[in-house]
Amino acid sequence: MVKKLWNKNFILLLQASAISTIGDLMYSVAIGYWVYEQTGSSALMGIMSAISMFVTMFLSPFSGSIVDKCNRKWVIVIGDLFQGGIMLTIGALAYMNKLNVPGVLVAAFLAALGGVFYSPAANTSLIDIIPKDDIVRGQSLFSGVSSTINLVGTAFSGVMVAFFGVPLIIVLNGLSNIYSAISELFISIPKTAQQGERVNLKSILCDTRAAITEIISDPHMQLFVPCMLILNLLASGPFSLILPFTMEKNFSVEQYGYFMSVWSIASLASVIILGIIKFSPKARFWIMAVSFSASSIFMVLTFLSKQFIPMCIMAFIAGFLNAAGNAIFNASLMLALPEKNRGAIMGFVSSACVGGTALSSVIYGILGDIFPLYAVFAIGSAISLVPMLFLCFHKRTRSFILSH
pLDDT band at 78 (very low <50, low <70, confident <90, very high): very high
Is 396 a member of any domain?
A: yes
> How many domains are contained in the chain?
1
Is 56 a member of any domain?
A: yes
User: Sign of the C-alpha dihedral, residues 401, 9, 345, 228?
Assistant: positive
pLDDT tens readout for residues 156-199: 666 677 677 788 888 888 898 899 899 888 888 887 767 767 77
pLDDT tens readout for residues 97-108: 888 888 888 888
Q: What is the CATH number of the domain that holds 162?
A: 1.20.1250.20
Residue 338, helix vs strand vs coil: coil
Please, what is the average pLDDT of the chain? 80
Is 150 a member of any domain?
A: yes
In single-letter form, the type of residue at position 127 comes to I
pLDDT band at 140 (very low <50, low <70, confident <90, very high): low
Q: Which residue has the higher pLDDT, 360 or 310?
A: 310
Number of helices (H) and strands (E), helices first, in the chain? 16, 0
Range of lowest pLDDT (202-216, 353-367, 389-403): 202-216
Half-sphere CA count of 289, side-chain side, radius 13 A: 20
Please say if the pLDDT value at position 77 is more than 80: yes
Please say if the pLDDT value at position 139 is more than 80: no
Q: Angle CA(14)–CA(18)–CA(21) in degrees, nearest 5?
A: 135
Is 108 a member of any domain?
A: yes
pLDDT band at 340 (very low <50, low <70, confident <90, very high): low
Q: Which of 227, 193, 238, 214 is nearest to 367 (CA)?
A: 238
pLDDT at 153: 61
Residue 98, C-beta contacts closer than 8 angstroms, at least 6 positions apart:
none
Please say if the pLDDT value at position 2 is more than 60: no
Region 292-301: what's the mean pLDDT?
93
Region 15-37: what's the mean pLDDT?
78
CA–CA dist 233, 313 (Å, integer): 25
* Residues present in the chain in total: 404
pLDDT at 134: 67
Please say if the pLDDT value at position 25 is more than 70: yes
Percent of the chain residues topping a pLDDT of 70: 82
Please say if the pLDDT value at position 277 is more than 60: yes
The phi, psi pair for 112, rounded to 5°, reads: -65, -35
pLDDT tens readout for residues 234-260: 888 787 778 788 888 888 766 777 787
Contact between residue 211 and residue 347 where contact means Cβ atoms under 8 Å apart: yes
The secondary element (H helix, E strand) that includes residue 57 is: helix 42-69
What range defines the domain where residue 395 resides? Answer: 8-188+199-403
Residue 332, C-beta contacts closer than 8 angstroms, at least 6 positions apart:
284, 400, 401, 404
pTM attached to this predicted model:
0.64
pLDDT at 148: 64
Q: Which residue has the higher pLDDT, 284 or 35?
A: 284
Q: Which residue has the higher pLDDT, 147 or 382?
A: 382
CA–CA dist 315, 264 (Å, integer): 10
pLDDT at 88: 92
CA–CA dist 261, 29 (Å, integer): 13
Is 305 a member of any domain?
A: yes
Range of lowest pLDDT (104-108, 170-174, 324-328, 336-340): 336-340
Percent of the chain residues topping a pLDDT of 90: 14
Is 3 a member of any domain?
A: no
CA–CA dist 200, 197 (Å, integer): 9
Q: Which residue has the higher pLDDT, 390 or 208?
A: 390
Residue 136, C-beta contacts closer than 8 angstroms, at least 6 positions apart:
274, 275, 278, 284, 327, 328, 331
pLDDT at 81: 92
pLDDT at 155: 57
Contact between residue 355 and residue 53 where contact means Cβ atoms under 8 Å apart: yes
Is 32 a member of any domain?
A: yes
CA–CA dist 318, 155 (Å, integer): 19
CA–CA dist 75, 77 (Å, integer): 6
The 8-class DSSP code of residue 236 comes to: T
pLDDT at 218: 78
Question: Residue 90: how many CB atoms within 10 A of its CB?
Answer: 26
Contact between residue 243 and residue 37 where contact means Cβ atoms under 8 Å apart: no
pLDDT band at 301 (very low <50, low <70, confident <90, very high): very high
**Radius of gyration of the CA atoms of the chain, in A:** 20
Is 193 a member of any domain?
A: no
Instruction: Pinpoint the alpha helices (H) of 236-252.
Output: 242-248
pLDDT at 156: 63
